[in-house]
Chain A
Amino acid sequence: MAGIYIHVPFCKSKCSYCDFASYPKEIGKTESYFACLYREIEGRGRQLNGRVFDTVYIGGGTPSVVDSKFIVGAIRQVKKFFTLSQNPEITIELNPGTVTPEKIKEYKSVGINRFSVGLQTGYDDQLKRLNRIHTAKDFLLCANMLKGENFSADILIGLANQTVEQVKKSIDLAIAGGASHISTYALTPEVGTPIYTDYLNGELLSDDEVADIYHEIVDYLKEKGFDRYEVSNFAKQGFESKHNQNYWKRGEYIGLGVSASSFIDDRRFTNTFKIDEYMNAIIFNKSPEISSEIIEKEDAKFEFVMLGLRTAKGIDKKEFNKLFDCDFDKEYSNALLEKAQYINSTKNSLSIKPEYLFVQNDIILAFMK
């Protein structure tokens, strides 16, 4: 498995919790940005000639904010210079306030077959406070356009004064709209974002309150037919995100565009976060990377465990043994013993017991050397 990630760094406005590479004020550079992106796609495609990629994910930012011709062009470019497997999963992130039936039609015309919709919450006052540009009604309109499509909805937990009932109602809204996949993220107040001030003032929910809501909605989603396959991701059977699962299996991926990260041939590298720097680099045939590191074997082993244990299924020990030419149970005998009560360890797999998935850091740490 291998994936392609494409970053679109434009938005109508910045959400109050967002610390991603998104630049509402730079939207005027859309045309030149995509020109550079196409060049990067071409260059990387030639470099990685011969490899087969199974998924494409267009994220942001808000990919749906730009004219659909740019997205169409990007996918065409990918198909031209990369080898995709048969029936690749191709996802695009959408903001409900920026889509039109025409855009969706265009997306579908180039093979986009999965949509990730940023619902966040079904309550307009909460959306407003998050500085989202859409309303609950916009979401329903968007869902209507996606009727019959494979789409996912993102929902946030931990907003100021949020109750578990509100989260459930938001989930209801997503399911009523036809979502086959739901991601629930605990709001993380990053330094430098407006919401960090709310956090400092104690207005956001505490970790304990978030945990309470989380555990309730895990059960709630299960009732509704959505199984948790990773800490924050729930899907109806068969609708799990292939692109994201590749990350947790420590598969390879190439990231294209501003701020995009890649992991190819044991090397992790990341493009610059600045649009101008990115474009300059591409135009002058220089590397847009700002960081790069080779992951040594011991680190690689830990990453494999750290990422794998995020999933419900956990780690395939045989795969580990094959990849790293060693015996998992021997390698981690101490950790397995120390954390025995929190894990399910069988001959072929290791996973965290469902009730401890939300307190997994301490368990994972036992596997760090």
Chain B
Amino acid sequence: MSTKKENIRNFCIVAHIDHGKSTLADRLMEKTGQVSERDMEEQLLDSMDLERERGITIKLTPVRMFYKAKDGKEYTFNLIDTPGHVDFTYEVSRSLKACEGAILIVDATQGVQAQTLANAYLAIDNDLEIMPVINKMDLASARPDEAAAEIENILGVDASDAPRISAKNGLNIEDVLEQVIQKIPAPNGNDDAPLKALIFDSFYDNFKGVICFVRIVDGVVKVGTKIKTFMSDKEFVVTEVGVFSPKMTVKESLASGEVGYIAASIKSIEDTAVGDTITEVNNPAPEPLPGYKKALPMVFSGVFPLDGSKFGDLKDALLKLKLNDAALSIEPDNSAALGFGFRCGFLGLLHMDVIQERIEREFDLQIITTAPSVSYKVYKTDGTQMVVENPTHLPPTTEIDYMEEPIIKASIFTPPDYVGPIMELCQFKRGVYKDMVYLDKTRVEMKYELPLNEIIYDFFDSLKSRTKGYASFDYELAGYQKSDLVKLDMLLNGDICDALSIIVHKDKAYERGRQIAEKLKDVIPRQMFEIPIQAAVGGKIIARETVKAFRKDVLAKCYGGDVTRKKKLLEKQKEGKKKMRSIGSVEIPSEAFIEILKTDNDK
């Protein structure tokens, strides 16, 4: 049975992290009978373990619900969940394109936060109808009037009749459902026009190939339809269409206004880029839907197996992850220190973290990652230009005319008490002050331009520790800027350790060099000879530490009864050595590379 277009509502929920997006989604599904309370697993939409643990959504999940409204009519709701983190802004923006409206959740105790704003603006930019909801009314500290005032003042959205709910306790959920019908427009679109389907997500299924999550804008698609996308010339025949309820349920066809999935034995996720438009081969639409943009990795890091012999396993793991994550970029990398591995590109630090954790958990692989880097534009003296994501690929200084680094626009929300420490931090991180707005008595929005390369180092941790966790932070890429950058190398016993090289601002080189040298001194075990640790820029040594040679490495005695025990001790020592990486003649435990990257907030 196909619902009439006027009875369809396609919407998403946007919110700051932890403001209750997934909980509200769960309640909506429960209220519409999509899932019974008994079967309800907490936060159904966040299906990955990792997502549930971190309380964030990484992959999108659309859900179809039926709701019998007070006007007596039956409505079909398509809820498209959106990731809640700044790294996934692009995923948010394309899922918004599949909707006509957005429920904006604001926490009644916290009010508007950085990502509330960022996501609400994204929704407004996409011409979505914004429907505010004030959540967490069950908490004693709830101050809904202030939250409503903030929504109106900061976002300019009328919040006078915003449902005041408790997603946790199920309070006033019906009001939300009713308002969805009243406030969010029904889709328009033409079933008879040539097919236009927006791919807003996809994943790889071992049996069916790539499954595309689509919003049908115009036309109809069914099994047997010959399709192609605008970005790729390949043609496919549709093998299955269906909807999410919330599990995948097969349907005969999908018509304009509907949200569902298409399978067409597509082998590679690259062939159906998210944001691309699907059309019919025999009756193609003249132009694609607007707004396609490739997700560009912003943060890069070397990923190596802790145990060098597990390179093949790491490769398999990354390829499998990539099947479901088009934003992850992979290319082979080779380090003198760490052996064979990969240079991976991520959307941001959280994305990097998530991928690392998934490799370790889902594939049971221990990995070493090198210091995260960003992509620099290098203008060479011969007039050519190159992009450098890996510090070891930086050409010699003599060949570099100048370099540019990526800059971000940052919005920091904080209680006024912390304005001083944050300014200090931003200044220290080479930030340029742009603006500061007092949103109300309790909160300030500060705007800065900051080099991304400073953010990926320890900005989040420093911000949190300086504001006792109260500040929230959001950013977007704002282009490239000329900058005085240098490559900082670490030398062990005179040999450069490529895995430790980083690109830093000239003024930061000394401090970073000293920090890394000190850490290395702590993590490199003493060996047969003295090991000088040096930090160098160009050919110039800017910091030095020394690991002294060990003086005693012998068992006190070894008589008849000691042989077996002594042998076992040595075998253990040998096992430890096998896990070491050699830089020239110096042996470093693999764990040391991980230790070096840890940032110390106490220092």
Structural contact, B558 and A362, CB atoms closer than 8 A: no
Structural contact, A365 and B577, CB atoms closer than 8 A: yes
Q: What separation, in Å, do the CA atoms of A268 and B556 have in the docked complex?
A: 21
Q: What separation, in Å, do the CA atoms of A106 and B138 have in the docked complex?
A: 92
Structural contact, A188 and B570, CB atoms closer than 8 A: no
Question: What residues of chain A lie closer than 8 Å to B555, measured between beta carbons?
Answer: 188, 361
Q: What separation, in Å, do the CA atoms of A207 and B559 have in the docked complex?
A: 22
B528 at the interface (CB under 8 A from A): yes
* Binary contact readout A328-369 vs B (1 if CB under 8 angstroms, 0 otherwise): 000000000000001000000000000011111111110010
* Binary contact readout B547-569 vs A (1 if CB under 8 angstroms, 0 otherwise): 00111111111111101101100
B571 at the interface (CB under 8 A from A): yes
Q: What separation, in Å, do the CA atoms of A368 and B574 have in the docked complex?
A: 8
Structural contact, A247 and B554, CB atoms closer than 8 A: no
Among B549, B559, B563, the residue within 8 A (CB) of A303 is B563
Question: What residues of chain A lie closer than 8 Å to B366, measured between beta carbons?
Answer: none
Among B553, B561, B563, B566, the residue within 8 A (CB) of A362 is B553
Structural contact, B554 and A261, CB atoms closer than 8 A: no
Interfacial residues of chain A within 183-199, with CB under 8 A of chain B in the complex:
183, 185-188
Q: What separation, in Å, do the CA atoms of A261 and B561 have in the docked complex?
A: 5
Q: What separation, in Å, do the CA atoms of A285 and B558 have in the docked complex?
A: 31
Structural contact, B551 and A208, CB atoms closer than 8 A: yes
Report B575 CB to chain A, min CB distance, Å. Answer: 10
Q: What separation, in Å, do the CA atoms of A155 and B555 have in the docked complex?
A: 16
Q: What separation, in Å, do the CA atoms of A263 and B556 have in the docked complex?
A: 21
Q: Which of B551, B554, B564 has the most CB of A within 10 A?
A: B554
Q: What separation, in Å, do the CA atoms of A262 and B559 have in the docked complex?
A: 11
* Contact flag A247-B559 (CB < 8 Å), given A231-B554, A358-B553: yes
Question: What residues of chain B lie closer than 8 Å to A365, measured between beta carbons?
Answer: 570, 573-574, 577
Structural contact, A263 and B552, CB atoms closer than 8 A: no
Structural contact, B552 and A247, CB atoms closer than 8 A: no
Report B569 CB to chain A, min CB distance, Å. Answer: 8
* Contact flag A361-B560 (CB < 8 Å), given A303-B567, A342-B528: no
Q: What separation, in Å, do the CA atoms of A217 and B550 have in the docked complex?
A: 19
Interfacial residues of chain A within 277-325, with CB under 8 A of chain B in the complex:
293, 299, 302-303, 306-307, 310
* Contact flag A207-B556 (CB < 8 Å), given A263-B563, A361-B570: no
Q: What separation, in Å, do the CA atoms of A186 and B557 have in the docked complex?
A: 8
Structural contact, A358 and B561, CB atoms closer than 8 A: no
Q: What separation, in Å, do the CA atoms of A259 and B531 have in the docked complex?
A: 43
Q: What separation, in Å, do the CA atoms of A58 and B232 have in the docked complex?
A: 86
Q: What separation, in Å, do the CA atoms of A253 and B305 have in the docked complex?
A: 46
* Binary contact readout B349-360 vs A (1 if CB under 8 angstroms, 0 otherwise): 000000000000
Question: What residues of chain A lie closer than 8 Å to B546, measured between beta carbons?
Answer: none
Question: What residues of chain A lie closer than 8 Å to B566, measured between beta carbons?
Answer: 306
Structural contact, A232 and B556, CB atoms closer than 8 A: yes
B329 at the interface (CB under 8 A from A): no
Q: Which of B527, B549, B557 has the most CB of A within 10 A?
A: B557
Structural contact, A307 and B550, CB atoms closer than 8 A: no
Among A187, A212, A361, the residue within 8 A (CB) of B553 is A361
Q: What separation, in Å, do the CA atoms of A312 and B557 have in the docked complex?
A: 14
B576 to A, closest residue via Cβ: A365
A133 at the interface (CB under 8 A from B): no
Question: What residues of chain B lie closer than 8 Å to A186, measured between beta carbons?
Answer: 552, 556
* Contact flag A361-B573 (CB < 8 Å), given A185-B557, A186-B552, A212-B551: yes
Report B587 CB to chain A, min CB distance, Å. Answer: 10
* Binary contact readout A156-197 vs B (1 if CB under 8 angstroms, 0 otherwise): 000000000000000000000000000101111000000000
Interfacial residues of chain A within 207-228, with CB under 8 A of chain B in the complex:
207-208, 210-212, 214
Q: What separation, in Å, do the CA atoms of A263 and B567 have in the docked complex?
A: 15
Structural contact, A358 and B570, CB atoms closer than 8 A: no
Question: What residues of chain B lie closer than 8 Å to A299, measured between beta carbons?
Answer: 567
Q: What separation, in Å, do the CA atoms of A363 and B553 have in the docked complex?
A: 10
Structural contact, B558 and A310, CB atoms closer than 8 A: yes
Among B528, B552, B553, B570, the residue within 8 A (CB) of A306 is B570
Structural contact, A359 and B574, CB atoms closer than 8 A: no
Question: What residues of chain B lie closer than 8 Å to A357, measured between beta carbons?
Answer: 554
Among A207, A310, A368, the residue within 8 A (CB) of B570 is A368
Structural contact, B557 and A232, CB atoms closer than 8 A: yes
Interfacial residues of chain B within 292-333, with CB under 8 A of chain A in the complex:
none
Structural contact, B570 and A364, CB atoms closer than 8 A: yes
Q: What separation, in Å, do the CA atoms of A339 and B540 have in the docked complex?
A: 32
A237 at the interface (CB under 8 A from B): no
Structural contact, B552 and A368, CB atoms closer than 8 A: no
Structural contact, B559 and A244, CB atoms closer than 8 A: yes
Question: What residues of chain A lie closer than 8 Å to B558, measured between beta carbons?
Answer: 247-248, 307, 310
Structural contact, B570 and A210, CB atoms closer than 8 A: no
A270 at the interface (CB under 8 A from B): yes
Q: What separation, in Å, do the CA atoms of A183 and B549 have in the docked complex?
A: 26
Interfacial residues of chain B within 69-83, with CB under 8 A of chain A in the complex:
none
A184 to B, closest residue via Cβ: B556
Question: What residues of chain A lie closer than 8 Å to B550, measured between beta carbons?
Answer: 207, 359, 362
Structural contact, B552 and A359, CB atoms closer than 8 A: yes
Question: What residues of chain A lie closer than 8 Å to B560, measured between beta carbons?
Answer: 3, 5, 247, 253, 255, 260-263
Structural contact, B559 and A360, CB atoms closer than 8 A: no
Report A338 CB to chain B, min CB distance, Å. Answer: 9
Question: What residues of chain B lie closer than 8 Å to A303, measured between beta carbons?
Answer: 563, 567
Question: What residues of chain B lie closer than 8 Å to A210, measured between beta carbons?
Answer: 552
Q: Which of B527, B553, B574 has the most CB of A within 10 A?
A: B553
* Binary contact readout A225-265 vs B (1 if CB under 8 angstroms, 0 otherwise): 00000011000000000001001100001010001111100
A3 to B, closest residue via Cβ: B560
Structural contact, A359 and B528, CB atoms closer than 8 A: yes
Q: What separation, in Å, do the CA atoms of A259 and B559 have in the docked complex?
A: 13
* Contact flag A361-B554 (CB < 8 Å), given A303-B563, A342-B528, A368-B574: yes
Structural contact, A260 and B552, CB atoms closer than 8 A: no
Report A341 CB to chain B, min CB distance, Å. Answer: 9
Q: What separation, in Å, do the CA atoms of A362 and B551 have in the docked complex?
A: 11
Structural contact, B557 and A359, CB atoms closer than 8 A: no
A232 to B, closest residue via Cβ: B557
Question: What residues of chain A lie closer than 8 Å to B574, measured between beta carbons?
Answer: 365, 368
A186 to B, closest residue via Cβ: B556
Structural contact, A208 and B570, CB atoms closer than 8 A: no
Among B551, B552, B561, B567, the residue within 8 A (CB) of A302 is B567
Report B556 CB to chain A, min CB distance, Å. Answer: 5
Q: What separation, in Å, do the CA atoms of A270 and B528 have in the docked complex?
A: 35
Among A244, A260, A342, A358, the residue within 8 A (CB) of B554 is A358
Structural contact, B561 and A185, CB atoms closer than 8 A: no
Q: What separation, in Å, do the CA atoms of A210 and B552 have in the docked complex?
A: 8
Structural contact, B561 and A255, CB atoms closer than 8 A: yes
Interfacial residues of chain A within 34-73, with CB under 8 A of chain B in the complex:
none
* Contact flag A207-B552 (CB < 8 Å), given A342-B528, A359-B528: yes
Question: What residues of chain A lie closer than 8 Å to B564, measured between beta carbons?
Answer: 261, 268, 270, 293
A365 to B, closest residue via Cβ: B574
Report B553 CB to chain A, min CB distance, Å. Answer: 4
A188 to B, closest residue via Cβ: B556
Structural contact, A208 and B557, CB atoms closer than 8 A: no
Q: What separation, in Å, do the CA atoms of A300 and B567 have in the docked complex?
A: 11
Q: What separation, in Å, do the CA atoms of A310 and B553 have in the docked complex?
A: 12
Question: What residues of chain B lie closer than 8 Å to A307, measured between beta carbons?
Answer: 558, 563
Structural contact, A268 and B563, CB atoms closer than 8 A: yes
Q: What separation, in Å, do the CA atoms of A353 and B564 have in the docked complex?
A: 25
A211 to B, closest residue via Cβ: B551
Report A56 CB to chain B, min CB distance, Å. Answer: 13
> What are 21 residue pairs bridging A and B, where the CB atoms are less than 8 Å apart in the complex?
A3-B560, A232-B556, A244-B559, A247-B558, A255-B561, A260-B560, A260-B561, A262-B560, A263-B560, A263-B563, A302-B567, A306-B566, A307-B563, A358-B553, A359-B549, A360-B553, A361-B555, A362-B527, A365-B574, A365-B577, A368-B571
For the complex of A and B, the 4 pairs showing the least CB-CB separation, nearest first, are A211-B551, A261-B561, A207-B552, A359-B553
Seed contacts A186-B556, A207-B552, A208-B552; 4 additional CB < 8 Å A-B pairs: A187-B556, A270-B564, A361-B555, A363-B528
Could you list which residues of chain B lie within 8 angstroms of chain A, going by C-beta atoms? 527-528, 549-561, 563-564, 566-567, 570-571, 573-574, 577
